[in-house]
């Protein structure tokens, strides 16, 4: 999965991480309240779009790589379809439907495809982390703890710390922090720690819930000259 990581760190963290039996929340009423609100949001989830600002920090060279764009989620039957439109620093478009991840690089006019069907349910559950995936379902894959409240963009949010149960996942991401807007039951900020001081900070704004997203959003805008490359997701 390291090749996938090069293309989209946000996406690769979702593959192959789901493991462990369901367990109850650690008898913390504040945690239970947050998880209940996320569950309620998950039940009514149909479609969401949001602007994102991803800041990837590499501690060794003390460099930040910032990516901005729009992310779309849509529930279709039993699956959640995802499209990510990266605008800066370089345009790139990612679509996940039917267990197939397609990454379109218009500069090279090339689509790279990954077949994720074997791990699609797990992949999908992590991709919608904090966006319609529910609250108590997190306990299948993470040890979840309540970490207090923070003000984000003038709104009070509840902070959750997630530690993956899978040793493989822990090796990639020792823990993840989510900031949950209880009024909407969704994540407005995420921080994914990668060890050695590296992290990704993801900030979401202009979040639009329950609106109809056109089918065209989940289709790549290619032409007859576009080349396609199939890659292994292992």
The pTM of the full predicted model, rounded to 2 decimals, is 0.82
CB atoms within 10 A of CB 206: 9
CA–CA gap between residue 115 and residue 118 (Å, rounded): 8
pLDDT for residue 110 is more than 90: yes
pLDDT digits over 83-96, tens only? Answer: 999 999 999 999 99
Residue 130, SS3 per DSSP: coil
Number of C-beta neighbours around residue 201 at 10 A: 16
Segments making up each domain of the chain, as ranges: 26-231
Q: Tokens for 138, please give them.
A: 């997190």
Average pLDDT, the chain: 82
DSSP state letter for 17: -
Buried (b) or exposed (e) across 9-43, using 16+ Cβ within 10 A? bbbbbbbbbbeeeeeebeeeeebbebbebbeebbe
DSSP state, residue 26: -
Q: What percent of the chain has pLDDT over 90?
A: 50
The CATH superfamily of 26-231 is: Lipoprotein localisation LolA/LolB/LppX (2.50.20.10)
Q: Decide the pairing of beta strands 63-76 and 79-88.
A: antiparallel
- Given a cut of 90, is residue 8 above it in pLDDT? no
Cα radius of gyration (the chain): 17
- Whether the pLDDT of residue 15 is over 70: the answer is no
Confidence of residue 179 (pLDDT cuts 50, 70, 90): very high
Q: How confident is residue 3, by pLDDT bands cut at 50, 70 and 90? A: very low
Q: How many CB atoms lie within 10 A of CB 184?
A: 16
Instruction: Quote the tokens at residue 148.
Output: 């207090």
Pick from 7-16, 58-67, 184-193 the range whose average pLDDT is largest: 58-67
Quick one: pLDDT at residue 123?
Answer: 54
In the numeric block, the tokens 């710390």 are attached to 161
Q: What is the pLDDT of residues 189-198, one digit of tens each?
A: 999 998 889 9
Distance CA 132, CA 127 (A): 10
CA–CA separation, 227 vs 82, rounded Å?
Answer: 22
């Amino acid at each position: 999965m390291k090749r996938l990581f090069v293309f989209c760190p946000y996406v690769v963290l979702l593959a192959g991480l789901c493991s462990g039996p369901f367990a109850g929340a650690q008898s913390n009423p504040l945690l239970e309240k947050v998880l209940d609100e996320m569950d309620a949001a998950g039940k009514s989830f149909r479609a969401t779009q949001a602007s994102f600002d991803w800041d990837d920090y590499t501690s060794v060279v003390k460099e930040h790589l910032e990516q901005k764009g729009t992310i779309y989620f849509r529930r279709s039957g039993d699956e959640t379809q995802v499209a990510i439109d990266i605008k800066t620093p370089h345009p790139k478009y990612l679509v996940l439907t039917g267990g197939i991840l397609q990454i379109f690089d218009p500069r090279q006019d090339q689509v790279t495809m990954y077949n994720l069907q074997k791990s699609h349910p797990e992949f999908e559950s992590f991709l919608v982390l904090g966006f319609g995936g529910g609250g108590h379902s997190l306990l299948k894959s993470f040890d979840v703890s309540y970490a207090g409240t923070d003000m984000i963009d003038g709104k009070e949010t509840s902070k959750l710390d997630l530690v993956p149960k899978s040793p493989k996942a822990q090796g990639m991401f020792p823990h993840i922090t989510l900031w949950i807007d209880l009024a909407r039951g969704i994540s407005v900020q995420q921080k994914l720690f990668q060890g050695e001081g590296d992290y990704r900070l993801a900030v979401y704004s202009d979040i639009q819930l329950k609106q109809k997203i056109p089918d065209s959003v989940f289709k790549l805008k290619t032409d007859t000259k576009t080349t396609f490359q199939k890659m292994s997701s292992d």
